[in-house]
Amino acid sequence: MENTILKIVNLSAGFGKNWVLKNINLEIEKNKVIAIMGPSGCGKSTLIRCINRMHEITSGAILEGRIYLDGKDIFLMPPVAVRRKIGMVFQRPNPFPTMSIYDNVIAGYILNGIKLKREERDRIVEETLKKAYLWEEVKDVLYKRGVFLSGGQQQRLCIARALAMDPEILLLDEPTSSLDPKATSMIEELIIKLKKTVTVVLVTHNRAQAARVSDYTAFLYLGEIIEFDKTSRMFTAPKDKRTEEYLTGKFG
Amino acid sequence: MEMRQDRTFKIMLWLGGISFFLLLLLIFILLFKESLYSINAFGIKFITGKVWDPVNEKFGLFPFFVGTILTSFISLFISLPFSLSLALLLSVYYKEGFINKVLSTTTELLAGIPSVIYGFWGLFFLVPLIRKVEIKLRIPPYGVGILTASLILAIMIIPYISSISKEVIKMVPQDLIEAGLSLGSTTWEVVKKVILPYCRSGIFAGILLGFGRAFGETMAVTMVIGNSNFVPENIFSPANTMASVIANEFTEATKDIHLSALIQIGLWLFVLSVIVNLIGSFIVKRYKIR
């Protein structure tokens, strides 16, 4: 595939003696939205947590296989370096409660001890919040703590926090599962717009969401990728019977 | 039937609560009553007086106040880095496994050792050690004194500060730690910028508990502080704390005024610990997140 940004080769992962993911192979194209869809417990979260090497921080984590970012093996890079290039947004909005909205946006710089000039900081905060479509709502309360925002705003703040580090890939782990429909649709619109600047890998158990926002969809079932195809093709003409059954709501 | 049981239960709970309050009140009243003799005799001079001379019936608690403040703060200062490292080690780096078990069991045991044992250890190990240091520094080699007492206290309060800090740090949502790591930070950076700011009020509560413990600790301090009734000149000086002078002289206090003076020291010790605790809970409340 041309423009491949991320290549997963023979990846298996799990905890203790239990392999959650079995021999995953996946190629992800640059500046696209890729949905990883499947019933709960199928290993979706484990898969994206392997991509930014967060899987390894869990005690008892096991892992085999290779993942290449721009052709480089991420398991040969320091985890810290991988995570600066691959940002992540979690299921539940988790802005840092001790920091203001402003500081939350540049939290990556604060945490990594990267010193920025005042103007540069201001610029990053404004640009990133605009990218996350949050600027208009928070520009007057930038120095208030982020935890006072609504759930949807908090989640967009977390997206901004990840975007501020200018990652190549943005991992979204069911980012709307704790949000109301209105906040969900705002985040979905945002995801579609984000692919201009960043490749998005979106984990979701919501079929409609995968159909609405993604260019490609991987259907993950019991730790295996059953089908990976253009979203439009998979949703109209699934090749595998299990995909068809999942899409028509027979299980999961 | 069930309602009646509920009521009996409620009454029992109330009794428990009220009796503790009454107990506190009774202790205060008793201390106050027994101190009255010396309060009437010396007035405010008892607090500001720098001379404690039972033979000539001169009583001033200032030297002991200085001793208490010095030993408490120095011991806190010494124990803080150790306590926090231990807490972080057990709550962030080794959350489970062999190292965790060994270290947490050791700290728990450390907390359970009777203070007289600490006093012995101080006498036979720390005192000769400090004496050597003092000889090197060409100052009178007492061995006993403020620093020796502070060292003992520091060791004694480590389990308190570290176990509270550990519990508080464990309560930091895993979400936040992962958010920090996912931004490409090292664990240390997450500790510094996410975990510690989140826990500061809880850790402060732990420090306060340690301070309270150091403040009132009697036995071990009495054994190694040198029992000198003068205002300490430096951290090597033999001295006495408010608690240690009471323990040291209580059995020999044959005169009523001496006894009453010692009890008045107890009264102030009581008042000070109440104040420390009130300030503490005020700060904890104020800096609490949400």
What are the sequence ranges of the domains in chain A? Answer: 4-247
Mean pLDDT of B149-160: 95
- A178 shares contact with chain B (CB less than 8 Å): no
Calpha distance B84→B162 (Å, rounded): 6
Hey, are the CB atoms on A97 and B175 less than 8 Å from each other?
A: no
Hey, are the CB atoms on B183 and A59 less than 8 Å from each other?
A: no
Q: Can you give the residue range of the structural domain that contains B169? A: 2-287
Closest by CA position to B66, among listed B247, B238, B276, B213: B238
- Identify the CATH number of the domain defined by range A4-247: 3.40.50.300
> What is the percentage of chain A residues whose pLDDT exceeds 90?
90
- A146 shares contact with chain B (CB less than 8 Å): no
Hey, are the CB atoms on B193 and A111 less than 8 Å from each other?
A: yes
Calpha distance A178→B278 (Å, rounded): 40
Q: Is the pLDDT of residue A154 over 60?
A: yes
Q: Is the pLDDT of residue B290 over 50?
A: no
Chain A residue with minimum CA distance to B201: A98
> Interhelix angle for B256-287 vs B2-42, to 10°?
130
Contact predicate B118/B220, CB 8 Å = yes
Among the partner-chain residues B173, B184, B198, the one whose CB lies closest to the CB of A112 is: B184
Contacts of B193 in chain A (CB under 8 A): 107, 110-111
- B96 shares contact with chain A (CB less than 8 Å): yes
Mean pLDDT of A57-85: 94
Hey, are the CB atoms on B176 and A96 less than 8 Å from each other?
A: yes
More confident residue, A18 or B288: A18
A95 three-class SS: coil
- B180 shares contact with chain A (CB less than 8 Å): yes
Question: Which residues are CB-contacts of B194 (< 8 A; sequence separation ≥ 6)?
Answer: A96, A98, A111, B172, B176, B177, B179, B180
List phi, psi (to 5°) of A87. -85, 165
Hey, are the CB atoms on B183 and A92 less than 8 Å from each other?
A: no
Mean pLDDT of A53-63: 92
Confidence band for B276, pLDDT divided at 50, 70 and 90? confident
Contacts of A82 in chain B (CB under 8 A): 184
Stated pTM of the model? 0.83
Hey, are the CB atoms on A158 and B179 less than 8 Å from each other?
A: yes
- Where does chain A have alpha helices with state H? 44-51, 79-85, 101-105, 107-111, 118-131, 135-138, 151-163, 181-194, 207-213, 231-236, 241-247
Average pLDDT for chain A: 93
Question: pLDDT tens across B67-81, in order?
Answer: 999 999 999 999 999
Report the number of distinct structural domains present in chain B. Answer: 1
Closest approach of A83 to chain B, Cα-based (Å) = 5
A86-89 and B52-53 strand pairing? unpaired
Confidence band for B289, pLDDT divided at 50, 70 and 90? very low
- B98 shares contact with chain A (CB less than 8 Å): no
Among the partner-chain residues A54, A94, A113, the one whose CB lies closest to the CB of B176 is: A94
Buried b (16+ CB within 10 A) or exposed e, B170-181: eebeeebbbbbb
Disruptive mutation site among B182, B196, B198 for chain A (greatest number of A CBs within 10 Å): B182
Q: Is the pLDDT of residue A84 over 50?
A: yes
Confidence band for A105, pLDDT divided at 50, 70 and 90? very high
- A41 shares contact with chain B (CB less than 8 Å): no
Q: Is the pLDDT of residue B140 over 50?
A: yes
What CATH number is associated with residue B266?
1.10.3720.10
CB-side neighbour CA atoms (13 Å) of A212: 15
Which of A49-53, B91-95, B181-185 has the lowest average pLDDT? B91-95
Contact predicate B247/B164, CB 8 Å = no
Closest by CA position to B72, among listed B284, B288, B272: B272
Contact predicate A162/A88, CB 8 Å = yes
Contact pairs from chain A to chain B, CB under 8 Å? 73
Q: Is the pLDDT of residue A252 over 80?
A: no
